[in-house]
Amino acid sequence: MIVSHISDVEKEKVEMEGVEGVWIQWLIAKKDGAENYAMRLFTLEKGGKIPIHQHPWEHEIFVLEGQGVIGAGEEEKEVKAGNFAYVEPEIPHWYRNTGDGDWKFLCVIPIKE
């Protein structure tokens, strides 16, 4: 068993075109022996955003704190702590912090060879 705490995991700045104020922490991943899916924690600072993008894998998201908008396809949804989302593979999607502080959510993705 591996047990750790989010305060002990390095925060890496997400560097991608159009991304502002976004940090990722890889909580559970292949390095830990996980073979099927990885758990990451995203922090979007106030005003932070991830612009529209798409990829062949799904997201399972759980919001821990703060508030923001998740967009996918033709719709946007306001979310806050206790909201969760399933974002289908290949659907264009985006994120925007709409609150006054950090917006934090878990995002689980499949691990593929």
> Length of the chain, please?
113
Q: How far apart are CA 60 and CA 76, in angstroms?
A: 16
Does 84 engage in binding with its own copies (CB under 8 A)? yes
Does 44 engage in binding with its own copies (CB under 8 A)? no
* Interface pick for its own copies out of 19, 24, 54, 60 (rule CB under 8 A): 60
The tokens for 59 are: 């997201």
- Structural contact between residues 27 and 60, judged by C-beta atoms closer than 8 angstroms: no
Does 39 engage in binding with its own copies (CB under 8 A)? yes
Does 77 engage in binding with its own copies (CB under 8 A)? yes
What is the residue whose two structure tokens read 């908008």? Answer: 69
Nearer to its own copies, 15 or 83 (CB): 83
Does 64 engage in binding with its own copies (CB under 8 A)? yes
For the chain, the straight-line distance linking the first and the last C-alpha, in angstroms and rounded, comes to 23
Q: How far apart are CA 89 and CA 81, in angstroms?
A: 24
Chain contacts with its own copies (rule: CB under 8 A): 1-7, 27-28, 32-37, 39, 58, 60, 62, 64, 70, 72-73, 75, 77, 79, 82-88, 91, 93, 106, 108, 110
